[in-house]
Amino acid sequence: MGKIIALGGGSFSNGEMDNVTEHIISLTGKKTPFILIIPTASFDDMDENDDVKLSFERFGCTTDILFLTHEDVTQEVIKNKISSADGVFVQGGNLKFLMDTWKNTGTDKYLLEAYNKGTVLSGVSSGAMCWFKEGYDDCIDGQFIFVECLGIIPYINCPHYQSDYWQTFEEALAITKKRTSGIACDNGAGFCLNDGEYYTVAGNEGGDCYFYDANDNYRKTNINRNADLLKTL
């Protein structure tokens, strides 16, 4: 089984997330792994000077970018890039566009195959939500919606939870009665899965993760302060 590092947010330009970058690298089991960066959620708006890319390269990684909106991309290119990667990092942006594009190009299938092969899957914001059953994103004219995702982690995810703007997640869960528990992550915080076991990580400036229990009227629990909760998930 694979490994997932799902980050609620954070800056890779100032060293804030260096320890998380190093953790992702360590999970590959290689000193200088090949990391594939997928910027679909930003409509492939990424260049060679991207902060995440430079962060991995600073720690000795080889990197490549998978652009899915380019007309010359083929199934063979998509499959080969994903299957050859030791780790994948998905950038943030518009979650609905990301999932629609992945389904239309077969990328979702290749990423699930990579997970089952043991590839380290990671990402930030929309690039974190994509690994969950659903994500909560403001991707339709600034309106929040729930988006069906890959479903590897069987919960609904919300990023950037230190922001009041994103804390509508709690009310939305209760109103829609999704019957699926939620995981919310602050900037700097990550909810992780490693061979069937959950844990949390945080960048150098901290950040917490929260659990909303669908079986208890979406009662909120700070996972970082109640680590035993992870054993029940």
- pLDDT tens for the chain, residues 1 to 233: 789 999 999 999 988 999 999 999 999 999 999 999 999 999 999 888 899 999 999 999 999 999 999 988 999 999 999 999 999 999 999 999 999 999 999 999 999 999 999 999 999 999 999 999 999 999 988 899 999 999 999 999 999 999 999 999 999 999 988 899 999 999 999 999 999 999 999 999 999 999 999 999 999 999 999 989 999 99
pLDDT at 75: 94
pLDDT at 49: 85
Distance CA 167, CA 186 (A): 10
Residue 22 makes CB contacts below 8 A (sequence gap 6+) with 59
Residue 201's region, left for phi above 0, alpha for psi from -120 to 50, else beta, is: beta
**Domains of the chain, with CATH numbers?**
3-232 (3.40.50.880)
- Model-level pTM? 0.96
Q: Which residue in 157, 36, 138 sits closest to 94, CA to CA?
A: 138
Contact 92, 39 (CB under 8 A): no
Q: Which residue in 222, 202, 201 sits closest to 213, CA to CA?
A: 222
SS3 16: coil
Q: 168-199 burial, b for 16+ CB within 10 Å, e for fewer?
A: ebbebbeeeebebbbbbbbbbbbbbbeeeebe
